[in-house]
Chains A and B, each alone.
Chain A
Amino acid sequence: MKKISLFFIVLLYLSGCDIRENIIEPSNSFTRIIDHPGFSGDISPLSVVETSDSGYLVLAAKNSWEIYLMKTDMSGQPIWEQTLPEPYVNPLQDILIISDRYYIACMDAVTLGTYLLEINLSGGQPQRTATFAAMSYPLSVAYTGTEILVQGYDRNEKSTTLNIITPSFELSNTYKYPILEDKEEELIRHLNRTGKRLPFFCGKYTSSASSYYFNGFSNYALSLIFVNPSNGEISGSVSGFRNEEFTNSLHPLETGAFALSGLRYHDSYLLPSVEISTNEVAYIGDVVVNHFPEIAAAPHMVIREYTIAQPLVVYGTQAKNNKLLLYAYDQEQGTLKATTHIGQSNPYEMGDFQFTSDGGMILLAKTYVADRFPRLALFKLSKQEVEERLQ
């Protein structure tokens, strides 16, 4: 009888492990749909970053181009939210983290100039850090580690501008690149979200030689332009075809290659490791690609790096069936390691995603409640879940 009793005790002890271990920090994994009981208001997610207090700062465009900010705690519970008053409109895609401070770039509703605003994590009205009245129609912003780049549009000279701002928030250079047709109407429809959203972005590529790059209008097309940082002259480009065929997103890799996604009319393709000469002119229509019929038409595409045993390139976008899609590629080989989706019957559109300091992932998306009301959705995936999904 002692053996029998021992058998059962050991059996129950082993089986009961999950009861004892059924505890986890709530910040490890969560889903939050930020809802309100009203009908009104459209909202488009733009950016999410993990803050120094382990919470999250969310940036979105509300009612086409108003600026919406939300700060959450580490479990995704909103601490504060606010919609900035005019003249601040048209928030650019990314939240900039400069010396542990949080900034956004936006536009003046009347003068079309550019502002840099510092976000106070404890709430309250953001501080206006810098005003660039002559920097009209800001379209994208990036922090390179040594300078801030702002891509804009000069309506008077009909040109794309690339503005270099020092870390002390002073404009050091403005380079202009002519556009051979009037794009202002398209840009306005892009900004107020009544027309096609165009993937404007800019950044700095550093390999054997450094180069600025931006994705913007040049001549007649939306093209990826590489710029010599010493004089602002175009050193190379990957030309698009008008605004129908172009680079959709780009991420320079440690290997010197690029992770790129492109759009050919409505069809997306991914190039997880591609060599691009920054000193040559290429045409994106010449690229031989695999098509991804599951990806939604003209989607927002985010590219990040992550390491699970090996460096990965992770693409985040949305599927035609309204799920969030993640593709993980081996960074060196460019081979697909995993695909995963989030969501089932509820629709989701990709806003942004970041890997967090605990090895997990935070995703910002747009969903529709009651099949009609747009709302922000935040997903936090634990490290274990990320590894299961992407490995």
Chain B
Amino acid sequence: MVFKVYALTTYTQKFNGFLAKKFRQQVAYLLQKKAVKYIVITFLGIAMWLSGPSLMAQRARSGMRDSFKGSQWYIGLESGMNFTKVNPGTAFQEFYRPSESLEGKVYGKRFAHSSQQIGIKAAVRPTKHLNISLTTSYITYRYSYQQQFLWEDAENPDQHVNINYDHTVRLSYLELPVIVRYYLYSSGRFRPYVLGGAYYGWLVQANKQIVESGIDRASGGSTDYSNTPNTTFVKDMFLTSQAGYLWGGGFAYKPGTVTLTVDIMYKQGIHNITDVKHRFSSARSLPGFGNVQDNLRLSNLQVSFSLLFPLKFLTKSFNPVTL
């Protein structure tokens, strides 16, 4: 049988040529821009990752043709939803009441806040049972907490002021999860698997919405009030990096050439994401109170849908390598 390698080799050769002539000249300039830096680095990483099949294709042509059939590479899109839980560690706040302990922050319900993620996934299936993927995803984590204050007239307890500060934080990361999947059934259209891996993210954007509401029973009556939400950027409050591990399961469905996958995974951050150097300084210019961040680790329940295209084909009619 004659193996013809079309799409992949052509693509990688063109890409490498382009990289050599023009792209490298732009890298230094792009690296100066912080947000662009991460994208460029990630893109380069994926390009290098994708260069693997090119090498394998060359090997196939030079005699190692059986190994070409022994694996498959995929690239595709991934999107989905995630639900965040906060794991607070040591608590910090700007308020201090010498005479009594002050109630701290009350974090929102576990996995109550949904957000989205979207990304580009590259995967290799080196054996029938294994799948290793690297995804470049833009993911937003959302969590909330509330801090409540009560001031009461000691001589007339009916007179009191109760104020709630509701904080909702959105953290957007450019994240690189590396996931290993083990297929429980390696053949057929429907293939369930278990998965595990690790992820690393760069903080791209962080903002916080603060809503002040309360009950004023000290101004000649009883008034409930709620102020207009106030949103501010709070990137200084958080570390640029976030790393963690993940585990879960899912299944792949292969109706034809493309593969559809559904991942359900639990992600666990392994470190405090609050930037302790700016814990207080970055909170000083924010409205309301309760802005000083506790030590936090994030957990995340994530559901992702992927559409993957194979990259290794056997014939001009694009019959993919099938394991």
A residues at B contact (CB < 8 Å): 1, 3-4, 7-8, 11-12, 15-16, 18-19, 22-24, 28-40, 76-78, 81, 342-346, 369-370, 372-373, 379-382, 384-385
Q: Which of A19, A37, A345 contacts B97 (CB 8 A)?
A: A37
* Cross-chain contact A385 with B45 (CB below 8 angstroms): no
* Cross-chain contact B96 with A15 (CB below 8 angstroms): no
B301 adjacent to chain A (CB < 8 Å): no
* Cross-chain contact B202 with A15 (CB below 8 angstroms): yes
Contact with A along B271-289 (1 / 0, CB 8 A): 1101111011101111111
Q: In whole angstroms, what is the CA distance A380 to B161 when docked?
A: 29
Known contacts A15-B202, A15-B240, A23-B276, A370 near B163 by CB under 8 Å:
yes
Choose the segment among B22-30, B67-75, B144-152 that binds chain A (4+ C-beta atoms closer than 8 Å). Answer: B144-152
Q: In whole angstroms, what is the CA distance A16 to B159 when docked?
A: 51
Q: In whole angstroms, what is the CA distance A241 to B109 when docked?
A: 63
B66 adjacent to chain A (CB < 8 Å): no
Known contacts A30-B280, A369-B289, A15 near B200 by CB under 8 Å:
yes
Q: How far is the CB of A184 from chain B (nearest CB, A)?
A: 34
Q: Which of A15, A31, A36, A342 contacts B94 (CB 8 A)?
A: A31
B35 adjacent to chain A (CB < 8 Å): no
Q: How far is the CB of B157 from chain A (nearest CB, A)?
A: 11
* Cross-chain contact A40 with B154 (CB below 8 angstroms): yes
Collect the chain B residues with CB atoms within 8 Å of residue A22's CB.
239, 271-272, 274-277
* Cross-chain contact A33 with B277 (CB below 8 angstroms): no
* Cross-chain contact A342 with B284 (CB below 8 angstroms): yes
B224 adjacent to chain A (CB < 8 Å): no
**Contacts of B167-225 to chain A: CB distance below 8 A:** 200, 202, 214, 218
B102 adjacent to chain A (CB < 8 Å): yes
* Cross-chain contact A18 with B292 (CB below 8 angstroms): no
* Cross-chain contact B287 with A346 (CB below 8 angstroms): yes
* Cross-chain contact A32 with B98 (CB below 8 angstroms): no
Q: In whole angstroms, what is the CA distance A39 to B153 when docked?
A: 5
* Cross-chain contact B159 with A12 (CB below 8 angstroms): no
A-B contacts, 21 listed (Cβ < 8 Å): A3-B48, A7-B45, A15-B202, A18-B240, A22-B272, A22-B275, A29-B281, A31-B94, A34-B97, A37-B150, A37-B152, A39-B153, A39-B154, A342-B284, A342-B285, A343-B285, A344-B287, A345-B288, A382-B277, A382-B281, A384-B277
* Cross-chain contact B45 with A8 (CB below 8 angstroms): yes
* Cross-chain contact A18 with B96 (CB below 8 angstroms): no
* Cross-chain contact A81 with B284 (CB below 8 angstroms): no
Nearest B residue to A81, CB-CB: B98
Q: In whole angstroms, what is the CA distance A3 to B52 when docked?
A: 11
Q: In whole angstroms, what is the CA distance A8 to B241 when docked?
A: 15
Known contacts A23-B276, A29-B279, A37-B151, A18 near B161 by CB under 8 Å:
no
Nearest A residue to B99, CB-CB: A36
* Cross-chain contact A370 with B200 (CB below 8 angstroms): no
Given contacts A7-B48, A38-B154, A39-B153, 7 further A-B contacts (CB under 8 A): A1-B52, A8-B45, A19-B241, A35-B95, A38-B152, A344-B286, A372-B218
Known contacts A11-B41, A29-B277, A35 near B284 by CB under 8 Å:
no
Q: How many residues of chain B have a CB within 8 Å of chain A? A: 49
Collect the chain A residues with CB atoms within 8 Å of residue B265's CB.
none
* Cross-chain contact A18 with B239 (CB below 8 angstroms): yes
Known contacts A11-B41, A19-B271, A38-B151, A31 near B280 by CB under 8 Å:
yes
Collect the chain A residues with CB atoms within 8 Å of residue B18's CB.
none
Q: How far is the CB of A306 from chain B (nearest CB, A)?
A: 18
Q: In whole angstroms, what is the CA distance A29 to B275 when docked?
A: 12
Nearest A residue to B276, CB-CB: A24
Q: Which of A4, A19, A39, A78 contacts B151 (CB 8 A)?
A: A39
Q: How far is the CB of A4 from chain B (nearest CB, A)?
A: 5
Collect the chain A residues with CB atoms within 8 Å of residue B274's CB.
22
* Cross-chain contact A369 with B287 (CB below 8 angstroms): no
Nearest B residue to A8, CB-CB: B45
Q: How far is the CB of A87 from chain B (nearest CB, A)?
A: 25
Q: In whole angstroms, what is the CA distance A13 to B112 when docked?
A: 33
Collect the chain B residues with CB atoms within 8 Å of residue A76's CB.
96
* Cross-chain contact B284 with A344 (CB below 8 angstroms): yes
* Cross-chain contact A346 with B289 (CB below 8 angstroms): yes
* Cross-chain contact A4 with B280 (CB below 8 angstroms): no
Q: In whole angstroms, what is the CA distance A33 to B97 when docked?
A: 8
B233 adjacent to chain A (CB < 8 Å): no
* Cross-chain contact B239 with A4 (CB below 8 angstroms): no
Q: How far is the CB of B315 from chain A (nearest CB, A)?
A: 28
* Cross-chain contact A37 with B240 (CB below 8 angstroms): no
Nearest B residue to A32, CB-CB: B96
Nearest B residue to A342, CB-CB: B284
Known contacts A344-B285, A370-B161, A35 near B45 by CB under 8 Å:
no
Q: Which of B41, B49, B163, B284 contacts A31 (CB 8 A)?
A: B284
Q: How far is the CB of A383 from chain B (nearest CB, A)?
A: 12
Q: How far is the CB of B202 from chain A (nearest CB, A)?
A: 7
B298 adjacent to chain A (CB < 8 Å): no
Q: Which of B41, B94, B275 contacts A32 (CB 8 A)?
A: B94
Known contacts A4-B49, A33-B94, A38-B151, A19 near B239 by CB under 8 Å:
yes
Collect the chain B residues with CB atoms within 8 Å of residue A28's CB.
277
Q: In whole angstroms, what is the CA distance A151 to B97 when docked?
A: 36
Q: How far is the CB of A390 from chain B (nearest CB, A)?
A: 14
Nearest A residue to B51, CB-CB: A4
Q: In whole angstroms, what is the CA distance A345 to B286 when docked?
A: 7
* Cross-chain contact A35 with B281 (CB below 8 angstroms): no
Q: How far is the CB of B277 from chain A (nearest CB, A)?
A: 5
B139 adjacent to chain A (CB < 8 Å): no
B243 adjacent to chain A (CB < 8 Å): yes
* Cross-chain contact A369 with B149 (CB below 8 angstroms): yes
Q: In whole angstroms, what is the CA distance A353 to B96 when docked?
A: 20
* Cross-chain contact A31 with B292 (CB below 8 angstroms): yes
Known contacts A15-B241, A19-B271, A36 near B163 by CB under 8 Å:
no
